[in-house]
Amino acid sequence: MKFGLAGNPNSGKTTLFNSLTGSTAHVGNWPGVTVDKREGTYKYSDEKINIVDLPGIYSLSPYSPEEIVSRNFILDEAPDCIINVVDATNLERNLYLTTQLLEIDIPVVIALNMIDVIKQRGDILNAEDLERTFGVPVVEISALKSDGLRELIKVSVEAAKTKRVGTSVLSESKIATMVEEVTNKLQAENIASPLFHAVKLIENDEFEINAHHEVAVLAKSLKEKMPEDEFEGDYEGIIADARYRFITKYFRKTIAKKDNSNYTKSDKIDKVMTHKLWSIPIFIVIMFVVFHIVFSEDLLFLNALFGLEIKNPGLINFLTGMGYEGILEENEEGMAAALGGIPSLGVFLQSWMGYLTGLLIDLFAGFMPEGTWYTGLICDGILTGLDAIFSFIPQILLLFLFIAILEDSGYMARVAFIMDRAFRKFGLSGKAFIPLLMGFGCSVPAMMATKALEDEKERDLTIRLSPFFSCGAKAPIWAMLAVVVAGSMMGDIFVFSIYLIGIALAIVSATFIKLFSKDKEMPPFIMELPEYHLPQFKSLMLRLWDKFKHFVQKASTIIAASIIVIWFLSNFDWAFWRGMVDITESMLADLGKVLQYIFYPLGFAQGADGWKYSVATITGLIAKEEVVATLANLGITEDTMALSNAAIYSFAIYNLITLPCFAAVSTAKSESSKKGFIVTIIWWLIASYVAAFIIYRLGILLEISIIDGLLGIFVVVAICILLGAIVSLNKKQRA
């Protein structure tokens, strides 16, 4: 048997799914779209029941991939029963979808979820109202507390054994006869679920009109006979209105609220958490604490504030996984001398991970013959590259754990709500805020977190912007450059300005992309604020396991392949069969010399050393730390770098927003739509180039040659005017 879980976003489908299927769950993608498909099994007496978690939807119209996926699944894959998960605390809104599901010829069982909340509030819910009016079984459950699940499955199995013919609440509306006539016509043609298709035809649903041309003509002629009303022939509006009328008429009294003046616990918490003034400061503090625990090398600022140092090498070695490089000063024996402050949990785990992978590399290096090409490939290529990626895993998982806790507790829904208004101006909703914020840690989890966004376009855009939020791996680049610019300005101001420029560029990009995209109304922000509650351990662990699997799969395929290619290019020249060469004579060096021409206008690639910077931007694709490592390999350090401040800024900005590392690129690929991904790649390449160019020109203007700088800016302004003209012409034509 196969059951599908259908319902509004946040109605508790995934929670129900997890409670039912546990470890049997398997996450894939629906064919052709980037919507998650979760499948698992539930054992019921001797039978294994397949359970599919459908994406959250508000209606069965064909406007979003989620709606199309759910609709096609129900109509084409013939599940034995649809379990309609309904959030009982938001009954009227949730039942809107129910009225549509009921029109399909398929057994439906209503799972009335969040009963625990209703009970806790002392409200009284009359489930028989629903059962009587809709004529389908209703089971009260709490997905979170695993209450009523066995009963739900039992009732669903019974329902699945019967045949059900669709029913419509429209039979009480003024278009009842129209629906009936169109249904009859479809039925005469042996179409399955004729009632559902009839309603969709009347709504002018494009899929249906293409599929049933003749019947569409009939529907049109019937509409012409209808008297004019306030909807002026908008049948989607008429039908939506009829559904809501029905729902309010029959179910307004289904839930008896105990006492409206009595705030629930959640309402009380929300008075503070979503307060006009406090909400944002509270949020900033919470996020700061999270980032501090995951990324800080000086927990509680003990070193910065009180000068705490740990001088016991044994303890340091233990604390740091024997030599975490970033925070240790080494003495002559290469031994850790002092540790400034205490590393945070994230840094601690990361350094241990680095230590373990380091051991693994040494182990391999130990028994492999020295100096052969395959030793190089395995140790310097694959293992070192994987080390760079795997060392992020502890921090990524820890960050995800915190985010999952905030999500499960119900707080994240509030954050989206708080941020929504500001984000709307840029074509994003409040929900995009968290992924973008996570970009400061690492783009990979940031992009993975876009799954929480319902709109595909918004997901694409958020993924596109996330590398603009300077990630942890880029920090070493800024640190190196800061030393060089420090001569004329404060290094920390430089680093801070890079972060700010990144954010500014994200805003400019979003605005620019919005200009070019079709003027589509943003879907209104509808989202229930779930009750606050303690997160459940099992659900947290399932989420983390999901992420971990995802990451490892990626690291072992596309990323590993890219690492090998770059290793090959940097260790051999064009006559590669003759053996390895120094990186300065490698194919990569030659490539750098070609790229030097392309990067020339950006300033950093000028001069005899220019090709080295070009090469570093390529190896930066493995992991952004590689930029510094490669430059060092090629003899460029803080002391030998001879770039002007303008060129340094340009180099920094270029690396900030060009293609991120392979791990992020491949994550972007799997999380974006096909078209969105292509646009994203182009955007990263072009935006970084243009931004670096402008910054370089501006820098020159300030530093030396006013004429040169002005010339460059003039070119840019001219291009912008041209683009603007094209956009406005385009708009006029459409209007």
Residues engaged in binding ligand GDP (CB under 6 A): 7, 9-15, 56, 113-114, 116-117, 142-144, 408, 410, 530-531, 533
CB of 309 to Mg ion, least distance (A): 48
Residues 6+ apart with CB under 8 A from 407: 452
Half-sphere exposure of 570 (CA within 13 A, CB side): 24
Task: Specify the residue, 458 or 625, whose C-beta has the smaller distance to ligand GDP.
Answer: 458
CB of 528 to ligand GDP, least distance (A): 8
The one of ligand GDP, Mg ion, none whose footprint includes residue 9, by CB under 5 to 8 A per kind, is ligand GDP
The one of ligand GDP, Mg ion, none whose footprint includes residue 144, by CB under 5 to 8 A per kind, is ligand GDP
> Any idea what the Cα angle at residue 530 is, between residues 524 and 536, rounded to 5°?
135
Query: Which one-letter amino acid corresponds to residue 119?
Result: K
Please give the torsion angle defined by the CA atoms of residues 212, 218, 224 and 226, in that order, rounded to the nearest 10 degrees. -100
Query: Which one-letter amino acid corresponds to residue 592?
Result: G
* Phi and psi, residue 369, nearest 5°: -60, 140
Task: Specify the residue, 14 or 113, whose C-beta has the smaller distance to Mg ion.
Answer: 14
Binding site for Mg ion (CB under 5 A): 14
Measured at CB, which residue is nearest to Mg ion? 14
CB of 146 to ligand GDP, least distance (A): 9
Name the burial class of residue 578, with classes exposed (0-12), middle (13-18) and buried (19+) by CB atoms within 10 angstroms of its CB.
exposed
The one of Mg ion, ligand GDP, none whose footprint includes residue 12, by CB under 5 to 8 A per kind, is ligand GDP
CB of 405 to Mg ion, least distance (A): 17
Task: Specify the residue, 17 or 532, whose C-beta has the smaller distance to Mg ion.
Answer: 17
CB of 141 to ligand GDP, least distance (A): 7
Task: Specify the residue, 14 or 650, whose C-beta has the smaller distance to Mg ion.
Answer: 14
Nearest to 59 by CA among 157, 195, 199, 180: 199
Nearest to 167 by CA among 193, 187, 138: 193
The one of Mg ion, ligand GDP, none whose footprint includes residue 66, by CB under 5 to 8 A per kind, is none
CA dist 523 and 22 (Å) reads: 33
Task: Specify the residue, 36 or 387, whose C-beta has the smaller distance to Mg ion.
Answer: 36
Task: Specify the residue, 14 or 645, whose C-beta has the smaller distance to Mg ion.
Answer: 14
Task: Specify the residue, 211 or 286, whose C-beta has the smaller distance to ligand GDP.
Answer: 286
Residues 6+ apart with CB under 8 A from 235: 175, 202, 203, 204, 223
- Beta-bridge partners for 339: 310, 328
* Phi and psi, residue 707, nearest 5°: -65, -45
CB of 525 to ligand GDP, least distance (A): 15
The one of ligand GDP, Mg ion, none whose footprint includes residue 117, by CB under 5 to 8 A per kind, is ligand GDP
Name the burial class of residue 624, with classes exposed (0-12), middle (13-18) and buried (19+) by CB atoms within 10 angstroms of its CB.
buried
> Any idea what the Cα angle at residue 125 is, between residues 121 and 126, rounded to 5°?
170
Task: Specify the residue, 56 or 620, whose C-beta has the smaller distance to ligand GDP.
Answer: 56
The one of ligand GDP, Mg ion, none whose footprint includes residue 533, by CB under 5 to 8 A per kind, is ligand GDP
CB of 74 to ligand GDP, least distance (A): 16
CA dist 183 and 547 (Å) reads: 46
Task: Specify the residue, 113 or 193, whose C-beta has the smaller distance to ligand GDP.
Answer: 113
DSSP category for residue 558: I
CB of 38 to ligand GDP, least distance (A): 9
The one of ligand GDP, Mg ion, none whose footprint includes residue 343, by CB under 5 to 8 A per kind, is none
The one of Mg ion, ligand GDP, none whose footprint includes residue 103, by CB under 5 to 8 A per kind, is none
CB of 367 to Mg ion, least distance (A): 48
